[in-house]
Structure 1
Amino acid sequence: MAAPFELPALPYDDTYLAPVIGQQTVQLHHGKHHATYFAKLNPLVEGTDMADMSLEEVVRVSFGKADLKGVFNNAGQAWNHIFYWNQFAGGASGVSGKLKEMAERDFGSVDGMMDAIVNTGAGVFGSGWSWLALSDGKLVTQGVPGGENPLAHGATPLCGIDVWEHAYYLDYQNRRPDHIKDVLEKLVNWSWVGERLEEAL
């Protein structure tokens, strides 16, 4: 994917994630918020070297540069949300294989990994993301502000939970930890996460 970057269609219909993520939330989140990041990003990269880069490359090269803050904010959020929607495709599945083995090694148990993702997300002040990532051969959680992600920090994203209020407020109000827990248990396709881990090792 190179500029002009386009909003991908959801890999399922807008009722697929209900009741954890309701239809109205999906419509607003994907059709309004996610679409806006693309609409703002394209004029910022037009006519620059970044217009020939992939979205992932734009995220990497723009992070931490004051003059490219607008580019990063929108590229990061555009990329994050593509990842976010895709991790739910195929339906919820259990943690198994290498992912289970590493969760037990790095977090003590699969439940320990889930708790870490929930606690990391609950601890993000304001808007941001709770990520499970592979960093230096270990599974870690990363709580980041705004549109940051593990790519910006030299790690591999494996699972990402959006903790901006637009992601959960219609369905969970201020109960962010409950939302994260339900997304992890009822929506994430952990087989897909495991495949990403295997590819990165």
Structure 2
Amino acid sequence: MSCIKATIEAIESRDPGDKFTYSEVARRFGVDRSTLSRRHQQTRGSNEAKSRNQQLLHPHQELQLLEHIDELTEAGLPPTRTMIQNFASAIAGRAASQSWVTRFFHRHPDAIISHWSTSLDRNRHRADSVYKYESYFDLLSTKMAQHHIRAQDVYNMDEKGFLIGVTRRSKRVFSKQKYETRGFKKVIQDGNRDWITVIAAICAVGSEER
């Protein structure tokens, strides 16, 4: 294999979104920068033309799939690679491969991003707002004053959940814009849990339980 060909293969094998310059790569592999640039552009043009002819989805169908991923991200339900594979298969009417999903990522590095994510219970997601937090503590303060309850007599009642469903992190595909600028990084869990209730060891004034 020629040095130029090996260098081009190294460029093509990089992760989606990884930036590079021909000068930097040429120095690293000891090849001529102009030759590398010309040969890579020729190779990429040929590959893109071949890809268009063999592409599973039309460009507008891929845009629709990207829009669907964007909607799922905002809903707290970013898909997995397998889900994207299934979506593409349903749209095309024939099976999409995992290698197609990889090429899909390479074609849209500015639109989607893959990251590990942990689950957030659906009910907690719905309750996650400043207004609801403030309302809760306003009501708590009112009730404590109404019933003459001292802070040292208040203990945190925490529910420790044991998940029946998904219990581990999973790698998900997010809308890149929503992930990086709007913080959509959690996956909503379906709320299918068994609970036990425990009393925390610290009361409202910070002293230890006795």
TM-score, reference length from structure 1: 0.26
Decide which structure has greater strand share. 2
The structure with more radius of gyration: 2
TM-score for both structures, normalised by structure 2: 0.26
